[in-house]
A = this chain, B = another copy of it.
Amino acid sequence: MSATPFRKISGGVCAPKGFLANAVSAGIKSPDVERLDLALIYSEAPCVAAGTFTTNRVKAAPVRVSQAHLRDRDVQAIIANSGNANACTGVTGIQDARKSAKTVARSLGLRQGQVAVCSTGVIGLPMPMMRIEPQFPSLVEGLDRKKGTDVAKAIMTSDTRHKEIAISMELDGHKVKIGACAKGAGMICPSMATMLCFITTDANIGRTNLDKAVHEAVEHSFNRITIDGDMSTNDSVVVLANGESGMPRIQRNSKSYRLFRESLEFIMLEMAKSLVKDGERVTKFVTVKVNGARTYNDAKKVAEAVANSALVKSSWNGNDPNWGRIIHAIGYSRAMIREELIDIHIGSKPACIGGLEAQTPMDELRKTVAKDKFTITIDLHLGDAEYEVYTSDISPEYIDFNRSEYAYWKQARKDGLTKQ
């Protein structure tokens, strides 16, 4: 990947040609708080679009609406908010999401189906549309080449920092750019997280190839991160490609397709890793690498069982290189394993060889686990299949942080949106 000939640039989602953005404070959580929470991304030129969404069977209204809108693959704008997930809000929620798309579409001269809608925040509360709708005019008016970072900030929930990236590369002799912003924190789990990721590019690519590239890249990035084993109702990755770079159309299996696909995966992986590093009250970034599994699914099961074990994650939080808890998680992963063949390395040092304690002194292993970034390598010695996930420790502060969302509900009651 390091060989890939692209360089990082500034500008986020506004870095590629022809993309504008804006964000405002609509007071979605609370009217009294000045905080960017409503964002708009817009391409001046028509786009080819692709997206992937949560596999949770409880889907937020904006997810249902955006999935429908993306069917024609010509989405040209994204309206997004934080503070309210618009999930479990029934017909009203669907109507609210559609209304937002429709209003924004009209003032941009687009069809409703050309606007994707994304929300993140608390589940089960109606959207405070009385505070959101009045913002649409100024949101559209203020569209600007320089406001990519505002969008990254406006979609933050419990994120401690905004997340964006942009790269520039040569494709068929033309300068092509890809920009992205994302939000995460909490509930990060394989098969996508509570995360939103918006990606813009001025590459020239058709629907089928963009779909293929996006799905491959997501499988190797966002589907491989986990913080607490939960899975959200709102996860969305939306990619807009407007072809404004002037490059010729990317052909199937061409060199430029491979390069574009690699760059897209690089961008998504950077965003995915930054989500884990900024997970709720996370203190460590841990890569769990499984080798020698009989099948790809076995490797995946083992990696995810270890990465999701509350006991394993607690021990990491305590700088305890507890390979016993790791091997017991391997044991209940339901993957085919043979205890006496299992090797576990913590960093480069063996902790367990052939299912038994290795000779590495405990204190050396502790040094590795005490770092804020390390890799656990598990070799099952049963085949050639591999899998890798990116995860974190779990801290007492995480539980404490997630004990209550009562504040949202109190505000919703003030707004007359809930009787609860």
Q: Which residues of A contact B (CB under 8 A)?
A: 55-59, 85, 87-90, 122-125, 186-187, 189, 191, 228-233, 308-311, 314-315, 317-320, 322-325, 327-332, 337, 339-340, 351-352, 354-362, 365-366, 394-400, 402-406, 409, 413, 418-420
A57–B420 CB distance below 8 A: no
A405 touches B320 (CB 8 A): yes
Q: A359-B419, A399-B314 are in contact. Are A332 and B88 (CB under 8 A)?
A: no
Q: Given A124-B323, A320-B404, A361-B420, 14 more contacts at CB 8 Å?
A: A57-B337, A58-B328, A87-B328, A90-B355, A123-B327, A124-B324, A186-B311, A230-B311, A233-B331, A310-B402, A314-B398, A315-B404, A362-B418, A395-B399
Measured between C-beta atoms, what is the minimum distance from A40 to chain B in Å?
Answer: 26
A408 to chain B minimum Cβ distance, whole angstroms, is: 10
A214, chain B: closest CB distance, angstroms: 22
Q: Bound state CA distance, A360 and B396, in angstroms?
A: 31
Closest 9 A/B residue pairs (Cβ): A318-B403, A58-B331, A123-B324, A396-B396, A124-B324, A314-B402, A231-B332, A362-B420, A318-B404
B230 touches A332 (CB 8 A): yes
Taking CB atoms, residues of chain B closer than 8 Å to A327 are 58, 88, 123-124
Partner of A406 from the list B88, B320, B325, B360 (CB cut-off 8 Å) is B320
Most B-side CB within 10 Å, residue of A55, A231, A399:
A399
- Taking a contact as CB atoms under 8 Å apart, the answer to whether A356 and B89 are in contact is yes
| A289 vs B238: C-alpha distance when bound (angstroms) | 38
A142 to chain B, nearest CB (A): 32
- Picked from B88, B324, B398, the residue with its CB within 8 Å of the CB of A399 is B398
Contact of A90 with B356 in the complex, beta carbons under 8 Å: yes
Contact: A357 with B125, CB < 8 Å?
yes
- Contact A397 B396, beta carbon cutoff 8 Å: yes
Give every chain B residue within 8 A of A331 (Cβ-Cβ): 56-59, 231, 233
Q: When the two chains form their complex, are residues B355 and A88 in contact, meaning their CB atoms are under 8 A apart?
A: yes
Known contacts A125-B357, A332-B57, A357-B125; A322/B405 CB under 8 A: yes
**B402 near A311 (CB under 8 angstroms)?**
yes
- B420 adjacent to A332 (CB under 8 Å): no
Closest to A334 in B: B57
* Residues on the B chain within 8 Å of A322, using CB: 404-405
Q: Report 18 cross-chain contacts, Cβ distance below 8 Å, ordered by A residue.
A: A57-B330, A59-B331, A88-B339, A88-B352, A123-B328, A124-B327, A230-B329, A233-B331, A310-B394, A318-B404, A320-B405, A320-B406, A324-B405, A351-B420, A358-B420, A361-B420, A362-B420, A366-B406
A363 to chain B: closest residue by CB? B420
CB distance from A356 to the nearest CB of B (A): 5
**Contact A230-B310, Cβ < 8 Å, known A57-B331, A396-B396, A399-B396:** yes
With beta carbons under 8 angstroms apart, the residue of B361, B366, B399, B400 that contacts A419 is: B361
Whole-angstrom distance between the alpha carbons of A379 and B270 in the complex?
41
Min Cβ gap A302→B in Å is: 11
Best-surrounded residue of A314, A320, A359, A394 (most CB of chain B within 10 A): A314
**Could you tell me the distance between the alpha carbons of A55 and B331 in the complex, rounded to whole angstroms?**
9
Contact in complex: A420, B360 (CB < 8 Å): yes
Chain B residues, Cβ within 8 Å of A339: 57-59, 88
A397–B396 alpha-carbon span in the complex (Å): 7
Partner of A124, one of B55, B122, B357: B357
Q: What CA separation (Å) do A191 and B331 show in the bound complex?
A: 13
A292 to chain B, nearest CB (A): 15
Task: Collect the chain B residues with CB atoms within 8 Å of residue A396's CB.
Answer: 396-397, 399-400
